């Protein structure tokens, strides 16, 4: 199961109104992890006075905006990247000398 860990990096406000946020979301599944950093305009999406806004309010807003089960949503894109990591096979760069190593 994929877990999503959200972090607020910065918020922007003017005249007591929350305008936007910069965020980082980390998707984890097993040993695999992918990240996405972004900027979201959330003006008018949280109906609380600025002084009453808490981190949890902003995170809930971001999750409602980006975590839908739709093909182009941030959630779907992060899950696609995790799936790719599960099937990806790392290979040596073709222009470098190939080195034999024993795998245990």
Q: Tell me, what's the pLDDT at 102?
A: 62
Gap between the Cα atoms of 57 and 64, Å rounded: 11
Edge-to-edge strands, sheet with 17-29: 3-14, 17-29, 32-41
State pLDDT tens for residues 1-22: 899 999 999 999 999 899 999 9
97: pLDDT confidence band, cut at 50, 70 and 90? confident
How does pLDDT run across 32-51, given as a tens digit for each residue?
A: 999 999 999 999 999 998 99
CB atoms within 10 A of CB 23: 20
pTM value? 0.79
55: Cβ–Cβ under 8 A, 6 or more apart, which residues?
Answer: 8
> Domain segments of the chain: what residues?
3-87
What's residue 94's pLDDT? 75
Measured CA to CA in angstroms, residue 63 lies from 75, 93, 98, 103 at distances of 9, 38, 45, 42
pLDDT at position 3, please? 95
Residues 6, 80 contacting (CB under 8 angstroms): no
């Amino acid at each position: 199961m994929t877990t999503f860990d959200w972090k607020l990096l910065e918020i922007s406000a003017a005249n007591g109104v929350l305008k936007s946020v910069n965020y980082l979301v980390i998707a984890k599944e097993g040993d695999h992890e992918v990240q996405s950093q972004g900027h979201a305009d959330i003006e008018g999406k949280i109906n609380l006075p600025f002084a009453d806004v808490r981190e949890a309010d902003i995170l809930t807003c971001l999750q409602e905006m980006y975590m839908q089960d739709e093909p182009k949503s941030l959630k779907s894109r992060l899950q696609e990247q995790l799936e790719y990591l599960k099937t990806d096979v790392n290979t040596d760069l073709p222009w470098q000398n190939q080195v034999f190593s024993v795998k245990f």
